[in-house]
A = this chain, B = another copy of it.
Amino acid sequence: MQATLSALAEPNRLQIVELLRRKPRGVGEIVDRLGLRQPQVSKHLRVLSDAGLVEVHPVAQQRIYSLRAQPLKELDAWLEPYRRTWDDRFDRLDGVLRDLKGKDKDKDKDKDKDKDKRDGHGT
């Protein structure tokens, strides 16, 4: 996840990924389309490859790079819990604010703290 995000955070890399979304392509074609230098594209592809975002298939002296679905699926899965809150959770801010304003000394115990304890974030 972290790896996926880091890899996609680079603009050129993101473009490469978007380019590969259509179909697999050789390095030269990517160089051509994005107007980048060949070595740099190779390096970006390396990073993407290390992140598992692309895979390569040699054809003669060419290397055809194609997208791998898994990392993006994981990103999709990561978004899942957020999707769930988009509807009702976000506007509970008011409640929290009100709660904070009406706080007193007894809150030192943090009664709502232990309920946060059980999270289970997997990334």
* Contact of A100 with B62 in the complex, beta carbons under 8 Å: yes
Q: Which residues of B contact A82 (CB under 8 A)?
A: 21, 67, 69, 72, 76
Beta-carbon nearest neighbor of A70 in chain B:
B86
* Contact of A35 with B5 in the complex, beta carbons under 8 Å: no
- What's the least CB distance linking A37 to chain B, in Å? 12
Q: Which residues of B contact A18 (CB under 8 A)?
A: 121, 123
Give the size category of A's interface with B: 35 or more
* Contact of A122 with B15 in the complex, beta carbons under 8 Å: yes
Copy tally for this chain in the complex stands at 2
Q: Which residues of B contact A122 (CB under 8 A)?
A: 11, 15
Q: Which residues of B contact A6 (CB under 8 A)?
A: 9
Beta-carbon nearest neighbor of A112 in chain B:
B23
CA distance in complex: A69, B8 (Å): 20
Please list the 4 inter-chain residue pairs (A to B) with the smallest Cβ-Cβ separation, ordered nearest first. Answer: A9-B9, A33-B116, A5-B9, A6-B9
Given contacts A21-B81, A64-B100, A73-B86, 18 further A-B contacts (CB under 8 A): A1-B14, A2-B14, A5-B5, A9-B9, A14-B123, A18-B121, A18-B123, A21-B82, A35-B116, A57-B97, A62-B100, A64-B93, A64-B96, A66-B93, A68-B90, A69-B90, A72-B86, A75-B79
